[in-house]
Amino acid sequence: MKRKFAGLTAVAVTSALLLAGCSPSGSGSEGGEGDEITMWVIGGDTPDALREYLKTEFNEKTGATLKIEEQTWGDIITNLTTKLPDANNTPDVTEIGNTQSPTFTNAGAFLDISDMYDELGGDDLLQSFVEVGEVDGANYTLPYYFGSRYVFARKDVFAEAGVEQPKTLDEFNSAVATIAETNPRSIENFSGFWLGGQDWRNGISWIFANGGDIAQYQDGEWVATLDSPESLTGLEQLQAIYQTASKAPNDAKDESIWTYVNDSDKRGEEGAEEQTSLGAASILAPGWAHWSIGDLDGETRVWNDDKFAAYPLPGNDGKPAPVFAGGSNVGISAKTQHPELAKELMRIIFSEEYQTMLGENGLGPANSKFTSSLGDDQFAKALIDSASNSKLTPAAPGWAAIEAKNIMEEFFSQIRDAKDLEALAKDTNAKLDALLNQK
Amino acid sequence: MSTTSKLSGTQIGPASIEMTAPLSVVAQRGRSTPRRLTRALLAVLGVIVAAVWAFPVYWMINSSMLPSTVLEQKTPTLLPFGGSFKNFTAVLSSGTFVKSLGLSLSIALITVVVCLLFAFLAALAISRFRFKGRRSFVLAVLFIQMLPAEGLFIAQYKLMGTLGLLNSVIGVSIVYIAAVVPFTIWMLRGFVAGVPADLEEAAMVDGLSRTQAFLRITFPLLAPGLVASGVYAFLQAWNEFTIALVLLDSSHRTLPLWLRGFIQESANRAINWGEVMAASTLVAIPVIVFFLFVQGRMTSGMVSGAVKG
Amino acid sequence: MTRERSRRSLAPYLLLLPAIGIVLLALGYPIFWQLLTSMQKFGLAQQFGQPPEWVWFANYRTLFADSTTWVVVGRSIVFCLVTASVTMIVGVGLALLMRAVGTVVRVILQIALLLAWATPVVAAMTIWNWMFDWNRGLVNWLLSSFGLPFNGHNWLQNPLSFFFVAMIIVVWMSVPFVAFSIYAGLTQVSTEVLEAAQMDGATPGQRLRLIILPIIKPVLGIVMLLQIIWDLRVFTQIKLLQDRGSIASQTDVLGTYIYQLGIGSSDFAMASAMSIFVLILTVLLSWPYVRNLLKEDEAA
């Protein structure tokens, strides 16, 4: 017992010493050997190979070292809030969620890199992302990568219900309603299209597709526009979906929705009855969900073209319906001690090599010149097509507060049972207006 | 020394019962039913309650052995037959667990040791001395625990930045100790009061040095109390994650943060319940082992007056 | 006896020094900062270096004028009182049970409670969230296999049932501490006295009320105080449940409300004002217990 304890103490003391040793290094003159800059990436989206490339390339170009630290999506705001203003501990370059970008750029968290804008890709960069990194015409953050949402549908269930793959949004709306009503497999609570009550990030497409918007920038300030005639048309379609096509609970979010379109195969035991977890004929989901959709092979899912289909949500104007783009921006901390090195890293990130690598790994490259690197399978096509018409949340300074207060979630959860959609929209507009312009 | 003995001595005795308690139907029923049956029923109840309470932990361990395709089914699998440790190897393969374990252990150990030492000294002061400011101190001890922590960490970050204690085990430990020490003082107070000072002095008269007297006489009497409060301090330090997140950089994650990161990462792809449960089990195991190890001492510690108030 | 002798000595202050020192070091400046910030306009821009504007009590006025604040306060107090009471009742019950059963069953019971106590909060919440999942949760499966209409029942959607689930989880986590503490207190109750009372015909209820409760009253006092403090500030459990489901504005409690004001909306001034208010609220709510404790402390 005693020895064990001594062992633990040894571990404890060693890590204490190790940690004590790694206090921030003093910042000397820039660009020399031995200098180190830090970049934050969020989550595991940036694959290891890309991180290695950045480190090697950066070291070769500058002689300095690049340290990449991985943050988590759940805690990124806390870390940005405390560490980004602190010159001693700030990351020099950081990824930031595109909806989080306006709040931080407006607060002065990032370095003005307007002078590099053209060098880094200029107008070839994904413009909706450029906008959320812009304040008064100056560029602070630029797009890092984008993702998009498209439809994953059960071909077999569509066929059983006698429904074709829809070509327009109207067709889609009626198709999913029909499937839910005919319920070809007689599954309890079966949805034609699964849309969680609080899942506004997917549901918003119906407002966008009818020409509506959450908010617009008019005469120097942001104004909520959920009660415009266009938005209301979208809301009516959404209400119909919620009432007939979707059986999702009012408070459901977009977590793991792909499980609803999968079958769960038989259990391994002999004679066990077939278990099915199929709950919906279609979903709208981020592109990477395709890794989790398919037939069960051992313990992994394998895509099956006979059963599943992936395509952009159709619009009524021949183009795909606008969807919310996913993805991130990237910027240089205003408090960096190494602005020149940080700019060098930005040059590497926006280089042709790195942009192509992003695409090859299924991440939409920031620079549209390199979109072809995504490949040409059905997922790449669906990603490129749906992204061609993608939108973002309003680039208003108060947007983060709106997300924190879950105003959009609450709004959407009330659509199904709303007696008066216009009153609900006006009510939410008032809540949005109170926060949109708040710095 | 204690209010309880005073109470049992004066307020309640057999006499007072005699006056207030008439022979009742219930008592007669109690006599007619064999006592053994009642005891057996209570024993069964005890086992059922134990099963209910332990079930979530069992469920976690059970699920950690099953592949996620089995867990995705609507009908739950109650026994881990055909299961494997695959989830554990998958979780451990990234290698970050061991590093986080070391970090969490070092922070928890420093917190427990320093906290017990400081709290013991303070408990000595308030149980052995009457002094000016004692009442305010006791009040402060109680009130400090009422401060909501959710709004403090920005200032704590700035403070530790100024002190140069960011990204250090010491910085996090200081904040934890300050958070735990008030309650620990309160817990230890009863114990210290329970050790008669005369005992130590008598031993010194018998030729022991002050240190020897403390180690041989006082310390053994205090040990259960120290274990009980140590467990409390350990748990707090082991569970906390906001302070650890803010004061440490992302290459130094304590176990709760490691687990959170793991769950979020999993949720971003397709949540793999088997692996998430395996990771949860890994975080729980050190505490469970520690608990079972001190179990006997801790319960006896609490029994001998830990939270006597 | 020793107390009298050391009345004027420096010793107690020296003994208190380390504890006071470390609390002041870690909390002194943050509390001061919080007080200051609660009287400023302090958002993300100020965090990034813009000078804050001094507004005296404007934040408090905004806070008190907002009906949401009072709804959250009321909700938190009700949740706290209900949860703390249930925890206490179950805890006392289990402590009595531990005393009533033989050694083997007692150790089984103690180990089960220890397992629940030892499970780290983040891990425990993952398990509970999953057990109450509306689609694949164990609870729904169990209830519907008894023929009850719980297939696909969503526990988190309705605020009342959300708080019911939250209460179960919090009670599960806090009962072990309560049960052990009270069991410790119970060992002070002498078996002879209880047996004598039973001979004299005292009902179990009377024995509990007249003999057992008065003896464990001091333990009950401190444990109840701690439960009130903890349940009023409950944060992690509610936050992690909210992340899974429920409409946040219908389920916010003080802890999540402060978090939402601070990190969520970057309004650190309002978050500070709310924190100070919660501190005052907790002091008021727990004052009867604190006064009792002080009285007992003076008497000891």
Is C43 an 8 Å CB contact of chain B?
A: no
Six-digit token pair at B147?
A: 């401060």
Rounded distance between C-alpha atoms, residue A294 and residue A310, angstroms: 12
What DSSP string describes C96-120?
HHHHHS-HHHHHHHHHHHHHHHHS-
**How far apart, in whole angstroms, are the C-alpha atoms of residue A424 and residue C264?**
24
| Residue B25 confidence (pLDDT) | 36
Query: Longest Cα pair distance anywhere in chain C, in angstroms?
Result: 77
8 Å CB contact of C245 and A249: yes
The mean pLDDT value for B124-149 works out to 84
- 3-state SS, residue A4: helix
pLDDT at B231: 84
Q: Are A195 and A242 in contact (CB under 8 A)?
A: yes
Q: CB neighbours (10 Å) of residue A101?
A: 30
Alpha carbon distance B133, B55 (integer Å)? 48
In Å, how far are A191, B40, C9 from A101, measured between CA atoms? 35, 65, 60
Look at residue A75 in the predicted model and tell me its pLDDT: 87
* B77, B167, B245 member nearest A23 (Cβ): B167
C-alpha distance from B224 to closest chain C C-alpha (Å): 12
Residue A36 scores a pLDDT above 60: yes
Binning pLDDT at 50, 70 and 90, where does residue B303 land?
low
| Interface contact A78-B73, CB threshold 8 A | no
User: B147: pLDDT confidence band, cut at 50, 70 and 90?
Assistant: confident
Residues of chain C with pLDDT under 70: 1-8, 300
Per-residue pLDDT at C38: 95
Radius of gyration of chain B (CA): 25
pLDDT tens track for A271-328: 334 455 788 999 999 888 888 888 877 767 889 999 999 999 999 888 999 998 888 9
Strand-strand pairing, A326-332 and A134-135: unpaired
Is B211 touching A (CB cutoff 8 A)? no
Burial profile A56-73: b = 16 or more Cβ within 10 angstroms, e = fewer: ebbeeebebebebebbbb
C131 touches chain B (CB under 8 A): yes
The distance in angstroms from the start CA to the end CA of chain C is: 12
Shortest Cα distance from C22 to chain A (angstroms)?
19
What are the backbone dihedrals phi and psi of residue B228, each rounded to the nearest 5 degrees, phi first? Answer: -60, -45
**And the tokens for A282?**
């279609």
Say yes or no for a CB contact (<8 Å) between C263 and A404: yes
Residue in chain A lying closest to C48 (CA): A85
Quote the CA–CA distance of C96 and B49 in Å, as a whole number.
Answer: 13
| pLDDT tens by residue, B240-269 | 988 999 999 988 899 999 998 888 877 666
| Sign of the CA dihedral with C67 first, then C69, C75, and C77 last | negative
Q: Which residues pair with A146 in a beta bridge?
A: A327, A364
Per the CB < 8 A criterion, the answer to whether A239 and A418 are in contact is yes
Nearest chain C CA: its distance from A315 CA (Å):
30
* Chosen from B248, B268, B293 to mutate, greatest number of chain A CBs within 10 A: B268
Q: Judge whether C13 is closer than 8 Å to chain B, CB to CB.
A: yes
Looking at residue A263, its amino acid is D
Question: For residue A284, which of A374, A212, A209, A203 has the smallest C-alpha distance?
Answer: A203
**CB–CB of C219 and B14 under 8 A?**
no
Res B1 pLDDT > 60 = no
Query: What secondary structure letter does DSSP report for A289?
Result: G
Chain A contact partners (≥3 CB pairs within 8 A): B, C
Indicate if the pLDDT at residue A266 is higher than 50.
Answer: no
Residue B68 forms contact with A (CB below 8 Å): yes
Question: Is residue B295's pLDDT more than 80?
Answer: no
**B contacts of A16 (beta carbons < 8 Å):** 106, 110, 168-170
Does residue A256 sit at the C interface (CB-CB below 8 Å)? Answer: no
List for chain B the helix, strand, coil content (%; round to 5): 75, 0, 25
Mean pLDDT of chain A: 86
For residue B105, give the nearest of A12, A74, A86 by CB distance. A12
Does B155 contact A at CB distance below 8 Å? Answer: no
Taking contacts as CB-CB distances below 8 angstroms, the residues of chain A near C245 are 249, 251-253
The stretches of A63-132 forming alpha helices (DSSP H) are 76-83, 101-106, 127-132
Q: Which residue of A has its CA nearest to B241?
A: A75
CB proximity list for B66: less than 8 A, separation 6 or greater: B77, B80, B83, B87, B274
8 Å CB contact of C48 and A404? no
Q: Do the Cβ atoms of B119 and C19 come closer than 8 Å?
A: yes
Q: What is the DSSP letter of C182?
A: H
C29/B175 Cα distance (integer angstroms): 12
Percent of chain A with pLDDT over 70: 89
The encoded tokens of residue C146 equal 């008894």
Q: Is the dihedral of CA C94, C100, C104, C107 positive or negative?
A: positive
- The whole-number pLDDT of residue B7 equals 32
pLDDT higher than 70, residue A32: no
Measured CA to CA, the distance from residue A132 to residue A143 in angstroms comes to 9
The whole-angstrom separation of Cα C211 and Cα C214 is 6
- CA triplet A119, A40, A83: central angle to 5 degrees? 110
Structure tokens at B258: 């490691």
Rg (C-alpha) for chain C, rounded Å, is 24
> To the nearest whole number, what is the mean pLDDT of chain B?
79
Mean pLDDT, range A209-214, rounded to an integer: 94
Tell me, what's the pLDDT at B307? 43
Which residues, other chains included, contact B91 with Cβ-Cβ below 8 Å and sequence gap of 6+?
B97, B262, B275, B278, B279, B282
Q: Which residues contact A423 (CB under 8 A, 6 or more apart)?
A: none
pLDDT for B33: 59
Q: Is A9 on the interface with C (CB under 8 A)?
A: no
For range B270-291, the mean pLDDT: 84
| pLDDT score of C300 | 60
Give CA–CA dist B307/B184, Å, rounded: 10
Chain B residues within 8 A of C266 when measuring between CB atoms: none
**Least confidently predicted of B15-19, B41-45, B80-84, B271-275:** B15-19
User: From the CA atom positions of chain A, what is the Rg in Å?
Assistant: 24
Per-residue model confidence as pLDDT tens digits over A183-201: 998 888 899 999 999 899 9
Cβ of A252 within 8 Å of Cβ of C245? The answer is: yes
Mean pLDDT of A330-350: 96
Strand partners, B246: none
- Tell me what the mean pLDDT of segment B270-284 comes to: 85
Our measurement of the distance from residue B104's CA atom to the centroid of its chain's CA atoms, rounded to an integer in Å, reads 15
- C-alpha distances out from residue B242 to A351, B247, C232, Å: 37, 9, 18
Q: How far is it, in rounded angstroms, from Cα C193 to Cα C2?
A: 33
| Higher pLDDT, residue A64 or B38 | A64
Set of chain B residues whose Cβ sits within 8 Å of the Cβ of A20: 168-170
pLDDT tens track for A217-243: 998 899 999 999 999 999 999 999 999
Q: Within 13 Å of residue C261, how many CA atoms lie on the same side as its CB? A: 25
- CA nearest neighbour of A340 among A123, A50, A54, A93: A93
What confidence score (pLDDT) does residue B73 get? 67
Q: pLDDT by residue (tens digit) across B10-50?
A: 333 333 333 333 333 344 444 445 678 888 999 999 999 99
C-alpha A340/C-alpha A92 separation (Å) is 10
ipTM higher than threshold 0.90: no
Q: Do C45 and A405 touch (CB under 8 A)?
A: no
- pLDDT, residue C197, reads 85
CB pairs under 8 A between A and B: 117
Contact A334, A145 (CB under 8 A): no
Beta bridge partners of A150: A285
Q: A143 phi and psi, to 5 degrees?
A: -60, 140
Candidates C135, C161, C242, C244: best to mutate against A (most CBs of A within 10 A) is C135
Q: Helix B255-268 crosses helix B273-303 at what angle (to 10 degrees)?
A: 150
Query: What separation in angstroms does the CA of B158 have from each of A80, A86, A89, B153?
Result: 14, 9, 11, 9
Backbone φ and ψ for C125, nearest 5 degrees, come out as -65, -35
What percent of the residues of chain C are helix, what percent strand, and what percent coil, each to the nearest 5? 80, 0, 20
| SS3 sequence of A40-75 | EEECCCCCHHHHHHHHHHHHHHHCCEEEEEEECHHH
* Chain B environment of A267 (Cβ under 8 Å): 70, 73, 77
CB B308 within 8 A of CB C296: no
Neighboring chain B residues of C120 at a CB cutoff of 8 Å: 238-239, 255-256, 259, 280, 283-284, 287
pLDDT tops 80 at residue B293: no
Q: Which two tokens stand for residue C257?
A: 């409300």
* Candidates B114, B163, B169, partner chain A, best to mutate (most A CBs within 10 A): B169
User: Least CB-CB distance to B265: which of A44, A262, A277?
Assistant: A44
Write the CA distances from A70 to A46, B261, C39, integer angstroms: 9, 10, 36
| CB contact (8 A) between residue C260 and residue A405 | yes
- Find the length of chain C: 300
Chain A residue closest in CA terms to B258: A72
Question: Which position has the token pair 């002689």?
Answer: A63
Cα separation, C57 vs C61, in Å, equals 6
